[in-house]
């Protein structure tokens, strides 16, 4: 994860383009560290989260999951869960404005983290996919409680039950994103304009407004995030998940040989 700062904004860039910016343990740790660094830096007023290359994020790094299949190291699994939990709770509780600049397809945690950002802007070619049931796991990131209120029941079922993608246009109509731009350059310009507007506002007023808005979130959100993660941990230990990941990894290997 790259941390850069300019004009009152800190930018956290997911920087594993060869892996489509998939999240591994190190990514979770560095995202948490970056958010905490920005939180405690008084010169930072806004945080931007984006990706390098063609993807925003391909979600969880399945290579890391596959490497742990059959590994009975419960301490390693618990450490992994703690890193995910730390990242999500840090983002949920983050007091400054967060803008997500979604520069390409978003999958899994790359989608659910957007639920905790104040602004989400994307390029037109973006798709949002939460393939939890396809993998044999369960919704995470608070999506089971937040998706119905954000995108409605129909799209929630479409994404969380069928594991079907949501297009940029659907995301805009549902209110999941605030703007759809035709190119990455236009996306960057749109984000830059938003940052300029936000850093020009009185900081205490801005922080208070965000706090009041976030006070309307479900009281159980943090507990739901923890409960979802516990369910995911149980499901990843089952043969259904291992079989699905094995098939996906075999398919990926076959495609790489073409």
Contact 71, 91 (CB under 8 A): no
Please state the rounded mean pLDDT for residues 116-128.
98
Q: What is the pLDDT of residues 12-66, one digit of tens each?
A: 999 999 999 999 999 999 999 999 999 999 999 999 999 999 999 999 998 887 6
Q: Where are the alpha helices (DSSP H) in 8-73?
A: 25-39, 62-68
Q: What span, in angstroms and rounded, lies between the C-alpha atoms of 167 and 126?
A: 7
Q: Which residues pair with 13 in a beta bridge?
A: 2, 50
What's the pTM? 0.93
Closest CA to 62 of 22, 28, 26, 30: 22
Q: What is the pLDDT of residues 148-166, one digit of tens each?
A: 999 999 999 999 999 999 9
Task: Quickly state the pLDDT bin for 71 (edges 50, 70, 90).
Answer: low
Q: What is the pLDDT of residues 218-242, one digit of tens each?
A: 889 999 999 999 999 999 889 888 8
């Amino acid at each position: 994860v790259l941390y850069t700062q300019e004009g009152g904004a800190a930018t956290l860039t997911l920087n594993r383009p060869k892996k489509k910016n998939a999240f591994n343990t190190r990514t979770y740790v560095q995202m948490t560290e970056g958010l905490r660094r920005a939180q405690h830096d008084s010169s930072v007023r806004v945080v931007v989260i984006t990706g390098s290359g063609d993807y925003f994020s391909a979600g969880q790094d399945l290579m890391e999951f596959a490497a742990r299949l059959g590994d009975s190291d419960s301490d390693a699994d618990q450490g992994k869960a703690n890193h995910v939990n730390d990242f999500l709770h840090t983002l949920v509780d983050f007091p400054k404005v967060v803008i997500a600049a979604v520069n390409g397809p978003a999958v899994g945690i790359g989608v659910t983290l957007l639920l905790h950002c104040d602004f989400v802007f994307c390029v037109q070619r973006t798709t949002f996919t939460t393939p939890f049931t396809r993998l044999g796991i369960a919704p995470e990131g608070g999506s089971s409680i937040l998706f119905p209120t954000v995108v409605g029941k129909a799209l929630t079922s479409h994404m969380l039950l069928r594991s079907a993608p949501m297009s940029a246009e659907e995301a805009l109509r549902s209110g999941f994103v605030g703007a759809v731009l035709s190119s990455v350059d236009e996306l960057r310009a749109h984000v830059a304009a938003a940052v300029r507007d936000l850093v020009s506002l009185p900081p205490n007023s801005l922080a208070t407004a965000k706090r009041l808005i976030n006070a309307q979130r479900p009281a159980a959100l943090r507990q739901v995030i923890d409960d979802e993660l516990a369910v995911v941990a149980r499901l990843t230990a089952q043969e259904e998940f291992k079989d699905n990941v094995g098939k996906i990894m075999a398919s990926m290997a076959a495609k790489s040989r073409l």
